[in-house]
Amino acid sequence: MDALMDAQENDAYLSTLNELKPTRQFEFADPKLIKGFAIDSKDINDWEFLMKSCIGCYLFGRFARQAGPNCSAKWMWLEDFFKLQKCRSWVAAKAAASTLLDSYLDDNAFAPPPKDSSLDNIYFELGPVDESDIAIVGSGINPVQVGGGFPEKAEESIQNAKKLGKVDMEPFTRIAKALNAFLHNNFFGDFKKSKYFTKFVKLEHWYSQHTFTEDDFEIFRVLGRGGFGLVNGCRCMRTGKVYAMKTMDKRRVKMNRGEEMCKFEKELLQLCKSDFVLDLKYSFFNDFELFIIMDVKAGGDLNFLIQQQKCFTKEMTQYFLARTCEGLQDIHNAGWIYRDLKPENLLLGDDGTCWISDLGLACPWKEGMAGIAGTPGYWCPEMLRKEPYDKGVDFWTLGVVLVEFLTGTCPFRNKAALEFGKSKGEKDKLLCCNMAVLEMEVEYDTEKMSEDAIDLAKKLLTKDPKERLGKNGIGDIKGHKYFEGFDWDAVTDGSMVPPFVPEQEVNAADQDSIGKFKNESEVKEIKLSDKDHSKYKNFPSSNKKAFEIDVTGLLIWEKSKGRPLTATVTRERSQTCSLM
């Protein structure tokens, strides 16, 4: 690829990252079909279903804002209650709870004006409407008319937050249930007659009929190369949302017997709900390829960053390590082990957060599990000794990446490891590396690593897994003196300001050096049988919540551009499109 083309593709990718630009409109079915769907579908007519949907909540929020203060104040209280539910530390929760109290539950308060919502991810799991909940609405003289002693109980729970280390959610949840029931009883009927509900039905119907394929995405430049194919930036054309598309050539997968890896990667991406691990948005296949769509992390991988910066500061190392620990904990809690921790697999968001990606080698943990998996230099001793292993493999690699972050080199892939291997009679590089993992005591660079960092590395790089730090969980690591004074709560609740924010540029090698696969012609020779294809029958999936969030983002964007809610394209029975 010539330099000009490379530059043009970089520009196209960067401009998609910076601006929401949907390039294809939703095509809705014939209005008669949609009407039929609205009448027949039990879900669509159910308030609880509406409240569980981000699109439903956003559209009800638009309706509520123009339905008068009796509706808007109560709904906006619920929106702020949603923010309270999301807080992970008591400090953040106390602040969010105080907003609910001061702005809506105080007799002297005036409800805040109903300004547009910019929240694309609100939804509620409040259960079925319970009429008895309503009793506490109407008796108060505050903006949401809540009485029954609940404003006082909410105040008490805020006062006790510090002592308890949490905000007692009970009074807030009771109020939320009461307002939820009130809005259902008094406003759901009118909402169902509004254009907002029509839009909701159309979108639900569209989703129920649609199967995502590669035709839904526009592809941009290559961001990285994986074992079975390339990773590109891409954009979902209807919502304008930018993602990363990982493509895996089924023939290359077959050649490397990687079918199970692809299956596990997709399964864990789908299963693991973590703020530290990339999750799956959509997956699908065609005759030759498997596709995984996930969030794009535009800051590049940490290996790329190490190459640029040579090594990381203590602040960066602590932050990256802490987020990685939290992600590993979520994976372990799901009953899986990760097995492939290395800087290439830690991706940096454009905001500086780092994320565990590439779950291809992760698998559900089973007693007695053994066998080599991962990357040379990051394999742990028990794997090389062919012994059974457990989550301790991930703590070993955490030690490896700690050294790599602070010194810029992997301690078992450097000159010292090579020389150690040679001194033990090994000739091959890989065997030298393995010998170093098994027997070499790492010599730490005291100019780049503090005493505490060395102590942590030594404890993680303990060759006997029974003695290794982490055997009792990540609490062992959190409590190590390398992290003295470090605010783990701020990492857990996402409030820590990342110590490094990447430049808004293409943080990836140029496309030619990411390059092509060496054995392309060999791969083309591989024939795929029906049996091969049948291995992927459960591969396609779509994450409805992700779809809802993207569509809500689109609706918010359209509102900010002054676009009318009803302007949509309808697909007639004849399959031609027209504007409604």
Closest approach, Cβ 360 to ligand ATP, in A, equals 4
Closest approach, Cβ 293 to ligand ATP, in A, equals 9
Closest approach, Cβ 150 to ligand ATP, in A, equals 44
Q: Provide, for the chain, the percentages of residues in helix, strand and coil under a 3-state DSSP scheme, each rounded to the nearest 5.
A: 50, 10, 40
> In this structure, what DSSP letter does residue 442 have?
P
By the 8 A CB rule, do 491 and 321 touch?
A: no
Q: Which of 435, 453, 436 is nearest to 444 (CA)?
A: 453
Provide φ and ψ at 114, rounded to 5°: -75, 75
Q: Which is nearer to ligand ATP, 15 or 560 (CB)?
A: 15
By the 8 A CB rule, do 190 and 208 touch?
A: no
Task: Report whether 246 belongs to an annotated binding site.
Answer: yes
Q: Which is nearer to ligand ATP, 64 or 331 (CB)?
A: 331
Binding positions for ligand ATP, rule: CB under 6 A: 223-228, 231, 244, 246, 278, 294-297, 301, 344-345, 347, 357-358, 360
- For the CA atoms of 401, 258, 388, 366, what is the dihedral angle to 10 degrees? 110
Q: Which is nearer to ligand ATP, 347 or 402 (CB)?
A: 347
Element (H, E) at 479: none
Q: Which is nearer to ligand ATP, 96 or 305 (CB)?
A: 305
- For the CA atoms of 226, 232, 233, 238, what is the dihedral angle to 10 degrees? -120
Q: Which is nearer to ligand ATP, 97 or 294 (CB)?
A: 294
Round to whole Å and give the CA distance between 242 and 233.
Answer: 7
Q: Which is nearer to ligand ATP, 307 or 538 (CB)?
A: 307
Question: Which amino acid is it at 136?
Answer: I
Closest approach, Cβ 222 to ligand ATP, in A, equals 8
Closest approach, Cβ 372 to ligand ATP, in A, equals 14
Element (H, E) at 246: strand 242-249
Angle CA 4–217–212, to nearest 5: 165
Q: Which of 269, 268, 77 is nearest to 183 (CA)?
A: 77
Closest approach, Cβ 396 to ligand ATP, in A, equals 18
Question: Exactly one of 120, 340, 358, 493 is catalytic; which is it?
Answer: 340
Output the CA–CA distances (angstroms, integers) from residue 538 to 46, 282, 295, 389, in the order listed. 30, 13, 22, 29
Closest approach, Cβ 226 to ligand ATP, in A, equals 2
Q: Which is nearer to ligand ATP, 14 or 490 (CB)?
A: 14
DSSP-derived secondary structure for 305-353:
HHHHHSS--HHHHHHHHHHHHHHHHHHHHTTEE----SGGGEEE-TTS-
Element (H, E) at 234: strand 230-236
Round to whole Å and give the CA distance between 141 and 137.
Answer: 10
Known catalytic membership, residue 46: no
**Residue ranges at the known binding site for ATP:** 246
**Residue ranges at the known binding site:** 246
Active site residues: 340
